[in-house]
Structure 1
């Protein structure tokens, strides 16, 4: 299976590429710089490295990069700096999702391509009308006003929910919602739920980046797992944290 990963130089993206390789996939990565990627990728015949900015690629280039890929995974996010949070591009995740989906559809693949988006537990799945406390609604409202990356995450998932929907013949999708991300070196037991089981604002859980990567990679390689969660926004927690 061949997988295109964007955001591969980030903390979770690097883990995702490694998990995909462990599970026997070929991986194509698009990174702005090779500075933060693993040296082992450069000598791995199963890894193709494309140095480019996702949003600066032409439509033709984007279509060429997704051509032949069975899956596309996005671990894109905003750097936690003033420029990363308030600078451009403010709609990095949403615009990349839109352009990648457009590129997939332009190739008219014979079978649906899987699109896996790393999102956040702070974003509700409005298909399920998830219950949220009044206090959390107030905080989320402030986040929308003060933190553009939160709005970007919401709109990226909304694009998959409302534009791609549940019946697109070229794209199937899952938006993975991790709770508080931490670093660990090994995959541990984790739990998956259709909706949050705790408040992402007032009682957040923890999940390791490597566990998120393992789940995303498993969605791509395990058809049974994919069929369980496609078209949904599962929330992931590490069991022991």
Structure 2
């Protein structure tokens, strides 16, 4: 079983790679700078690294990356700097998801490939009938208008929802929505819900990055977990 992880040099992506390798999984990553990746992981024989900007890859190069992968995980996000938030590409996550899914389809896999998208609990899953208060709707609308990364996250998840329904034969997906992200040293108790149980704006919970990584690794490796959550947008909270 081989998993491609993009956004692997980020705080959560790196933890996911570490957990997959610890389980003996074959992992491929695309990173802009290999030097930013920990030496302890680079020395693992089950890790294959490609140093490149994903959106700069040709279609053929991207197809070669996804070929033979049973799962693709996007932990991509915008750097929290002025350039990272407002400069191009403003649709980094959406464009990457679209190109990766197109590449997967072009490989014509014999079994559906799992696509896991790291998203945000601030993204309301309207297709599942989720409701939010008027106040939260107004604030999220302002965030969507003022901060391009939020709109990017919404569009990426919606692309998966609209493009790959339950009858699609090549791609199955899950969009993982953590609440306010925190750092912790080890995996702790957490729980996944089909929809938020608290307001992402007015009553945000906490989700450790390492727990998000653990949940995504379970989606990759555990068939029962995948069957439970495929084609959904689970929300993760620390307990």
**Normalised-by-shorter TM-score class:** over 0.9
Q: What is the CA distance between 1:93 and its match in structure 2? A: 0.3
Residue pairs, 1:157-168, within 5 angstroms: 157-168=157-168
Q: Which shifted more, 4-13 or 162-171?
A: 162-171
Q: Spell out, residue by residue over 1:111-163, the C-alpha distance to the aligned partner (whole angstroms, 9 max, x if none).
A: 00000000000001122111100000000110111000000000000000001
Find the aligned partners of 1:23 and 1:215 in 2 and give their Cα distance. 14
Find the aligned partners of 1:43 and 1:81 in 2 and give their Cα distance. 31
CA-atom RMSD in angstroms? 0.7
Find the aligned partners of 1:117 and 1:23 in 2 and give their Cα distance. 21
Find the aligned partners of 1:27 and 1:73 in 2 and give their Cα distance. 11
Find the aligned partners of 1:67 and 1:21 in 2 and give their Cα distance. 19
Find the aligned partners of 2:177 and 2:101 in 1 and give their Cα distance. 20
Structure-2 residue corresponding to 1:117: 117
Residue pairs, 1:39-78, within 5 angstroms: 39-78=39-78
TM-score (norm 2): 0.99
Q: What is the CA distance between 1:237 and its match in structure 2? A: 0.5
Structure-1 residue corresponding to 2:202: 202
Q: What is the CA distance between 1:165 and its match in structure 2? A: 2.2
Q: What is the CA distance between 1:41 and its match in structure 2? A: 2.1
Q: Spell out, residue by residue over 1:15-61, the C-alpha distance to the aligned partner (whole angstroms, 9 max, x if none).
A: 01011112221100000012321111221110000000010000000
Helix, strand or coil for the counterpart of 2:129? coil
The answer as to 2:123 corresponding to 1:147 is: no
Structure 2 unpaired stretches of 5+: none
After TM superposition, where is structure 1 displaced by more than 2 Å over at least 4 residues in a row? none
Structure 1 unpaired stretches of 5+: none
Find the aligned partners of 2:112 and 2:165 in 1 and give their Cα distance. 13
Structure-2 residue corresponding to 1:211: 211
TM-score (norm 1): 0.98
Residue pairs, 1:1-241, within 5 angstroms: 1-239=1-239
Q: What is the CA distance between 1:105 and its match in structure 2? A: 0.1
Q: Spell out, residue by residue over 1:211-231, the C-alpha distance to the aligned partner (whole angstroms, 9 max, x if none).
A: 000000000100010000000
